[in-house]
A = this chain, B = another copy of it.
Amino acid sequence: MGDRLRVLGIDPGLASTGFGVVEAAPGGHDARSIAMGAIRTKAKQPRAQRLATIAQRVDELIVEHEPTEVAIEQQYVADNVRSAMAIGEARAAVMVAAAGRGLPVHEYTPSAVKEAVTGYGGAPKEQVQQMVMAQLELTEEPSPLDVSDALAIALTRLAESRLDALLSGDAQPTGSGQGGAA
């Protein structure tokens, strides 16, 4: 049998951190969304408090939804050093919470996410959003955009696990039934 994969995808940001919990069968097939939303912090709060809020909410999401893995965007582009540090800080708050619960954290660049979800690393945001809706059979557009991005990041981890399964010989073609995969 083997366990189902449940991935908490995160698009980190200081003001708004998108999240999406996606579950799939072993091998990464039959993805469905379990939860999605955004963690918001107020600009008037001290920065340390905002980061602690992000870490705390991620910890609560982990306790509530029991993901087996966390996937997060690894973004090495920023307007300037100051904004790079702010993104790094938000991402660190997420990683501290995830590693604190013993969960593996997978990092993906924005182009890797686009490639995995649409087949093209330079795809526009709207196309990523449409593919996320199609793969998860969502009837409404996830909003705001960082929620959609978080779901895309989780789907990227599932795509990778399908590839891992293929490479290790445990592949189950879609619709082949349960088989004996661990």
Contacts and interface: CB of A to CB of B under 8 A. Distances in A.
Interface in A62-114: 70, 76-78, 81-82, 84-93, 95-100, 104-105, 107
A47 interface: yes
Contacts of A107: 47
Interface size class of A (residues with CB under 8 A): 20 to 34
A84 B82 CA distance: 8
A1 interface: no
A100 B49 CA distance: 8
Interface string A25-51: 000000000000000000000111101
Contact of A93 (B77, B87, B96): B96
A172 interface: no
Contact of A76 (B82, B92, B97): B82
26 contacts: A46-B105, A47-B95, A47-B107, A48-B98, A49-B99, A51-B92, A51-B96, A52-B96, A55-B96, A55-B100, A76-B81, A76-B85, A78-B81, A78-B85, A82-B84, A84-B88, A85-B85, A88-B88, A88-B89, A89-B89, A89-B91, A89-B95, A92-B92, A92-B93, A93-B96, A96-B96
